[in-house]
Amino acid sequence: MIEIPALRWGKPYESLEKDTVVHFETGEELAKVSLANPGIIARDMKKASAARAALRQVPTADLLEMVKQAGKLYMEAELPLGDGTQTPDDFVRYQSATTGLPEHMCRSNMEKNRFVLENMAEVLDALTRGLDLAILGRGHGVEERGVPVSYQAQAPVLGLVLPSNSPGVHTLWLPVIPLQVGLVFKPGPQEPWTPFRMTEAFAAAGVPREAISIYPGGPEAGAAVLQNCERSLIFGGLPTVEQYRNDPRVQAHGPGFSKILLGDDCVDDWERYLDIMVLSVLGNSGRGCINCSGIWASRHTEEIAEALAARLADVGPRPATDPESPLAAFTVPGMAKAVDGMLEKQLEAPGVEDVTRRLRDGRPRLEERERCDFLWPTIVHCESTEPEVANAEYMFPFASVVRCPQEKMISEIGYTLVCSAVTADEAFRRDLLDATNIDRLNLGPVPTVQLNWLQPHEGNIIDFLYRARAFQEGSFG
Amino acid sequence: MSSEASQTAPSDSAGPQPSPELRQRIDAASAALDAHVREIVRWHFDPDTGTPFWLDYAKDLDFDPRVEIETFADLARFPLFEDDNLRGGPVRRWVPKAYADKPIYVFETGGTTGTPKSRIAIDDFRIDYEMFSDTLPDDKFPPGCNWLMLGPSGPRRLRLAVEHLCQHRGGICFCVDLDPRWVIKLIKKGWNEHLEAYKKHVIDQAITILRAGHDVQAVFATPKLLESLCLALEEEGTTLAEMGIKGIFSGGTEFTPQWTRFAVEELLDGVYMTPTYGNTLMGLAASKPVTAEDGYKITYYAPQPRAVLQVVDPDDHTRVVGYGETGRVKLTTLTREFFVPGFLERDEAERELPYEKYPWDGVSGVRPFSRFAATTTVGVY
């Protein structure tokens, strides 16, 4: 078993309190992770400016090379982990063993991270709209077109309160190091692996160790990160998002309520888009905020639900090592049962039918096992937008197929992180472009889970970390 | 390894055996406890001196406590004490008849929502804290020095008790209040900005007093406020030691070995700190000296015979767990002002051996009872 200390600006700290991370299926103890008490975080954050200062010693171009190299190391190298080492295969096995995600999905998430790291120059060029990154480090400069600009970092470090169940979120913070901003992690209890491995990859590539801290711990450690970092990202449920909605220091990432809208001009050809719907609902085991949880159309909704359910009803658990394994396990005891209970209550509403259950001859969606649980895919049909389940999101392959007139869709869908609108209707497309309740907009048949890494996600990280401001310099002559 | 309601005499054959001298002290403490139990039970159930609540309660018992409770172990004949009995009035039912004409304090615990639990007191808090005073080293808490009390006052016992401790040692106590009920509301509402502003408001007052030239050399603070105070001082480039503080008495919320280590290594700048475990129902349990060599383990000993702490099987409160084993903390309070025969605290802990200074069982690793932990908001101040 590996002993993993907390990291305080790159220095290992072995705590008297440790959390044992276990394999969800076998109960094997994989690691003992040192837990940080909130006071340690509060105290360390008083020295956060040193993290940025260390990064500013390294030219941005060098940092870009280092993260590119780190991407390769993260993907291919045996890297230090606590008092041992970890190969890429170990990493996949451990991440799968604690998060419940099938191993092939863990590998796929690794590939995403590597892609972003290896293409960081292009990603940052897109996110900054072509700004010379040296200007961010220096604080001011002149754009190529001759316009003077100034950008001010809003925080020396970015705090990250990460989830346990969704290893796909890490691409969001990867651009931070080449922006010469330090990283402060509070990992999810079941997923300490990525922050530690990425940190070792960065260090092996030459990124100063003192730029990164990792504080495993309970909710109080997360609260300490948010309280003591001037800029933080947190991942959580709706209550978390609500709690930080008006806090400019915190960017809260929660459920996406992502949707596919079928315009009246395309809906009669709905069968052509069935593959996109299946991929959007089932990809990454339905765990991501970009997974589709609602398919809205003005007609054919029963047929769509029936066809989608027919494709998903028999998609069941397979071993985590199976390269075709489609479903992630719920490894936190009681969680799947609670989710199932919540959904069952919503299904009691009039005008709602669980189509998958009918196709599965009434077999329950909850499969309880000795050490983990599974929820089988669920497709619900809603005759209107009124039932609560019409706009619900769960952490397994779940979607409501909702009947709604096209003219009411934009106002009724509520907040939607990813909206794939299958329509060529110019007026509808214009309205969709103007809709402020939609974050990422895909026009045409694009799966909701298809990301373009050159595009911002839920707010541009550059705008979150840097403020554009006026700057003038007079001459003394 | 277990024993039926054994409290002061570790007789578990499999456990480590005490020295003959310690054995003698353990037996003496056990005998003193049994005698004290007889005295207190007779007092509270005597129609002339007794407490209306217990006199009324005795009508439904199938035994006469004054006759049949002879030892501490006999207290197991009482059903567990339900703390809901302490919610709501009339508060006078808790005042022993013999004390009806005395000035009565009422102290509350809980109460963020709903009716708080109330406990009456006359002199108990003074006695408890005078006994605790005897455990404090004079070089760390110099007699005659002034104190800062940084923690909840209002309906709680803490402020008056700490102030009395300070006065008992010849000093004058400066007090800064914190309202934990408001803090819990701020947390539940997610008003983080207000929470931080309130915390800063409290700490600013404490620093103002420390800077005001009042010869404050001793501090009481809850662990979280102590941490905030030290971090605020560090921000100003100073420490408690540089402010002239020699000793800290801390308690009121959960202490962990890791926090204690952090405090000793990074916050206190060499200032002595003694952790305590206490509450309105019990009084104050002092700790065995905490050392790095012992992994900052914190072991508390109840102020026997006035209060007794046991570590019991969560599924069978009559069974005391073996030494070193984990169980739920069970409290018995035995004073003339207040009698509680067996109350299950919301904490769990490990049972610890008696030692020379405290020849009765101790408790270590006190933390929220794991079966409740998910639903309890603890340690907010």
User: Cβ A242–B234 below 8 Å, yes or no?
Assistant: no
Same structural domain for residues A243 and A320? no
Separation CA B248–CA B140 (nearest Å)? 8
B192 in contact with chain A, both atoms CB, cutoff 8 A: yes
- E strand or H helix that includes residue A302: helix A301-312
Q: Which amino acid is at A263?
A: G
Please tell me the CATH superfamily of domain B123-289, with its number: ANL, N-terminal domain (3.40.50.12780)
**Where are the domains positioned within chain B?**
1-98+298-381, 123-289
A433 in contact with chain B, both atoms CB, cutoff 8 A: no
Tell me which residue in A17, A39, A242 faces B227 most closely, judged by beta carbons. Answer: A39
pLDDT at position B3 is 42
Per-residue model confidence as pLDDT tens digits over A215-250: 999 999 999 999 999 999 999 888 888 888 888 999
pLDDT at position B13 is 47
Residues B75 and B69 sit within 8 Å (Cβ to Cβ)? yes
Query: Which residues, 6 or more positions from B342, have their beta carbon under 8 angstroms from its beta carbon?
Result: B75, B76, B78, B80, B81, B317, B330, B331, B332
Residue A134 counted as domain residue:
yes
* Test mutation, A8, A13, A16, A244, chain B, max B CBs within 10 A: A16
Domain that holds residue A186: 2-254
Distance from CA of B28 to the nearest CA of A (A): 37
Which chain A residues are closer than 8 Å to B227 by Cβ? 39, 42
In this predicted complex, what is the ipTM? 0.85
User: Cβ A37–B259 below 8 Å, yes or no?
Assistant: yes
Distance from CA of B372 to the nearest CA of A (A): 16
* Test mutation, A9, A43, A215, chain B, max B CBs within 10 A: A43
Q: Name the B residues in 15-34 with CB < 8 Å from any A CB.
A: none
Query: Which residues, 6 or more positions from B143, have their beta carbon under 8 angstroms from its beta carbon?
Result: B169, B170, B171
Distance from CA of A14 to the nearest CA of B (A): 10
pLDDT at position B375 is 44
Tell me which residue in B190, B234, B261 faces A243 most closely, judged by beta carbons. Answer: B190
Distance from CA of A459 to the nearest CA of B (A): 23
Q: Name the A residues in 226-285 with CB < 8 Å from any B CB.
A: 226-227, 242-243, 247
User: Cβ B256–A17 below 8 Å, yes or no?
Assistant: yes
User: Cβ A43–B266 below 8 Å, yes or no?
Assistant: yes
Same structural domain for residues A171 and A297? no
pLDDT at position A116 is 93
Last residue within a domain, chosen from A222, A254, A286 = A254
Which chain A residues are closer than 8 Å to B263 by Cβ? 39
Q: Name the B residues in 292-321 with CB < 8 Å from any A CB.
A: 295-296
Describe the strand order of the beta sheet including A157-161 as a list of residue ranges. Answer: A11-13, A6-8, A212-214, A182-186, A157-161, A231-235, A250-253
Q: What are phi and psi of A19, to 5 degrees?
A: -110, 130
Q: In chain A, what is the greatest distance between 2 CA atoms, to the nearest angstrom?
A: 87
Q: Average pLDDT of chain A?
A: 94
Separation CA A174–CA A410 (nearest Å)? 33
Same structural domain for residues A250 and A262? no
Q: Given CA atoms B257, B259, B264, B266 in this order, what sign does their dihedral have? A: positive
User: The tokens of B212 are what?
Assistant: 């005001």
Residue A471 counted as domain residue:
no
* Test mutation, B199, B234, B236, B258, chain A, max A CBs within 10 A: B258
pLDDT at position A167 is 64
Closest-CA residue in chain A for B297?
A16
Last residue within a domain, chosen from A202, A232, A254 = A254
Residue B204 burial class via C-beta count within 10 angstroms: exposed 0-12, middle 13-18, buried 19 and up = exposed
Same structural domain for residues A220 and A337? no
- Mean pLDDT, residues A444-469: 88
Per-residue model confidence as pLDDT tens digits over B117-172: 999 999 999 999 999 999 999 999 999 999 999 999 888 888 999 999 999 999 99
Same structural domain for residues A54 and A132? yes
The Cα-based distances of A180 to A184, A283, B335 in angstroms read 13, 34, 64
Residue A165 has pLDDT above 90, yes or no: no
Tell me which residue in B231, B258, B261 faces A42 most closely, judged by beta carbons. Answer: B231
Same structural domain for residues A373 and A407? yes
Same structural domain for residues A281 and A204? no
Residue A15 counted as domain residue:
yes
User: Cβ B190–A39 below 8 Å, yes or no?
Assistant: no
Same structural domain for residues A220 and A276? no
Last residue within a domain, chosen from A254, A275, A302 = A254
Residue A472 counted as domain residue:
no
Residue A464 counted as domain residue:
no
A37 in contact with chain B, both atoms CB, cutoff 8 A: yes
pLDDT at position A144 is 83
User: Cβ B234–A40 below 8 Å, yes or no?
Assistant: no
The domain total for chain A is: 2
Same structural domain for residues A222 and A74? yes
Which chain B residues are closer than 8 Å to A8 by Cβ? none
User: Cβ A17–B235 below 8 Å, yes or no?
Assistant: no
Distance from CA of A348 to the nearest CA of B (A): 28
Residue A459 has pLDDT above 90, yes or no: no
Which chain A residues are closer than 8 Å to B196 by Cβ? 227
Per-residue model confidence as pLDDT tens digits over A113-138: 999 999 999 999 999 988 999 898 88
3-state secondary structure of B142: coil
Closest-CA residue in chain A for B226?
A39
Percent pLDDT > 70 in chain A is 100
Q: Name the A residues in 1-30 with CB < 8 Å from any B CB.
A: 15-17
Which chain A residues are closer than 8 Å to B235 by Cβ? 46
What CATH number has the domain bearing residue A302?
3.40.309.10
Tell me which residue in A39, A46, A242 faces B262 most closely, judged by beta carbons. Answer: A39
Q: Which residues of chain B have pLDDT under 70?
A: 1-16, 111-112, 372-381
User: Cβ B234–A243 below 8 Å, yes or no?
Assistant: no
Distance from CA of A18 to the nearest CA of B (A): 10
Highest mean pLDDT (candidates A99-113, A291-305, B355-369): A291-305
pLDDT at position A11 is 98
Residues A290 and A166 sit within 8 Å (Cβ to Cβ)? no
Distance from CA of A331 to the nearest CA of B (A): 18
pLDDT at position A474 is 87
Residue A455 counted as domain residue:
no
Residues A473 and A139 sit within 8 Å (Cβ to Cβ)? no
Describe the strand order of the beta sheet including A148-153 as a list of residue ranges. Answer: A140-142, A148-153, A466-469
Same structural domain for residues A88 and A209? yes
User: The tokens of B336 are what?
Assistant: 């003339």
User: Cβ B259–A39 below 8 Å, yes or no?
Assistant: yes
Between B191 and A111, whose confidence is greater?
A111
Residue that has been written with the tokens 């992630």 in this structure:
A328
Residue A469 counted as domain residue:
no
Which chain B residues are closer than 8 Å to A39 by Cβ? 227, 231, 259, 262-263, 266-267
pLDDT at position B376 is 42
Residue A453 counted as domain residue:
no
- Mean pLDDT, residues A132-154: 91
Residues A23 and A30 sit within 8 Å (Cβ to Cβ)? yes
What angle, 0 to 180 degrees and rounded to 10, lies between the N-to-C axes of helices A120-127 and A103-118?
A: 70
Same structural domain for residues A72 and A195? yes
pLDDT at position B313 is 96
Q: What's B88's DSSP letter? A: S
Tell me which residue in A16, A37, A227 faces B295 most closely, judged by beta carbons. Answer: A16
pLDDT at position B254 is 77
What CATH number has the domain bearing residue A231?
3.40.605.10
* Test mutation, B259, B294, B370, chain A, max A CBs within 10 A: B259
Which chain B residues are closer than 8 Å to A243 by Cβ? 190, 192
Annotate B197-241 with DSSP letters as a single string: HHHHHHHHHHHHHHTTT--EEEEEE-HHHHHHHHHHHHHTT--TT
Closest-CA residue in chain A for B235?
A46
Which chain A residues are closer than 8 Å to B190 by Cβ? 242-243
Distance from CA of B231 to the nearest CA of A (A): 7
Same structural domain for residues A31 and A111? yes
Per-residue model confidence as pLDDT tens digits over A36-87: 999 999 999 999 999 999 999 999 999 999 999 999 999 999 999 999 999 9
* Test mutation, B231, B297, B364, chain A, max A CBs within 10 A: B231
Tell me which residue in B234, B258, B295 faces A37 most closely, judged by beta carbons. Answer: B258
* Conformation bin of residue A459: beta by default, left when phi > 0, alpha when psi is -120 to 50: left
